[in-house]
């Protein structure tokens, strides 16, 4: 752990936001002088779905992950854990090709097909999206903010199949079955 990061955390806990923000430059400087992968990983794991200090993310996490994300599961996992920072930074997101959390998780699974963490997280993402797609039923099936087209309905069914492949413990089977029935019924209405 870097001494400046300890001071940063103390200032943040005390509610001294201006001081904490000033300390981020020191943390970045220390990390660049002596990069510690374990620190970066811990920083991301502590975030777990929450945004971390943007300066720390932009100057430490993003460069680490971007440089290693082609073949390093841990680097991609760091981006997934701080995905809210990624979504909030349009320029950095565009540097990665406007990649989504689901695409990052699929990238992990391409490198390591048995990665339980990525399989579980991707299953949860797909399940959440599928629940959204059918939440207006019987009025229709949603895709984005609108009713799904025939092609989008097929994409929803493809997502169901992906969920079934990931769902080894059958946690999402009822949802998958429900989405299939409702989507087929909706497609019949579309003609």
- Residues counted in the chain: 191
Mean pLDDT of 65-91: 95
User: What is the rounded CA–CA span in Å between residue 179 and residue 184?
Assistant: 8
Average pLDDT estimate for 82-107: 96
Q: Is the pTM of this model over 0.85?
A: yes
Q: Where are the domains of the chain?
A: 114-191
Averaged pLDDT, 86-108: 96
What mean pLDDT is reported for the chain? 95
pLDDT of the residue at 1: 78
Of 1-5, 24-28, 39-43, 90-94, the poorest mean pLDDT is in: 1-5
Is 88 in contact with 54 (CB distance < 8 Å)?
yes
| Whether the Cβ atoms of residue 45 and residue 81 lie closer than 8 Å to each other | yes
């Amino acid at each position: 752990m870097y001494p400046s990061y300890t001071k940063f955390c103390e200032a943040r806990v005390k509610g001294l936001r201006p001081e904490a923000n000033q300390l981020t430059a020191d943390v970045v400087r220390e990390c660049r002088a002596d990069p510690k992968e374990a620190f970066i990983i811990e920083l991301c794991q502590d975030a777990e779905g929450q945004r971390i200090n943007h300066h720390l993310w932009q100057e430490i996490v993003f460069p680490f992950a971007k440089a290693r994300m082609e073949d390093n599961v841990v680097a991609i996992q760091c981006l997934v854990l701080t995905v809210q920072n990624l979504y909030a930074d349009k320029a950095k997101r565009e540097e990665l090709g406007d990649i989504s959390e689901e695409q990052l998780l699929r990238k992990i699974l391409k490198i390591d097909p048995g990665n339980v963490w990525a399989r579980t997280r991707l299953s949860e993402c797909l399940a959440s999206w599928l629940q959204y797609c059918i939440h207006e039923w019987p009025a229709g099936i949603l895709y984005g903010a609108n009713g799904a087209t025939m092609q989008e309905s097929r994409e929803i069914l493809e997502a169901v199949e992906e969920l079934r492949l990931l769902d080894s413990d059958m946690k999402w089977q009822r949802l998958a079955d429900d989405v299939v029935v409702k989507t087929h019924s909706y497609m019949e209405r579309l003609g």
